[in-house]
Amino acid sequence: MVAVAATLVAVAATLVSVTTALVAVAALLLVALVVVVPIALVVLRVFPAPTLLLALRPIALRLSFALTLAP
45 or 15, greater pLDDT: 15
Termini Cα distance of the chain:
55
Mean pLDDT of 7-16: 93
* pLDDT grade for 71, boundaries at 50, 70 and 90: low
- Judge whether 44 and 55 are in contact, CB under 8 Å: no
- Judge whether 44 and 52 are in contact, CB under 8 Å: yes
20 or 33, greater pLDDT: 20
Spatial CB neighbours of 43, under 8 Å, sequence gap ≥ 6: 52
pLDDT at residue 26 greater than cutoff 80: yes
pTM: 0.48
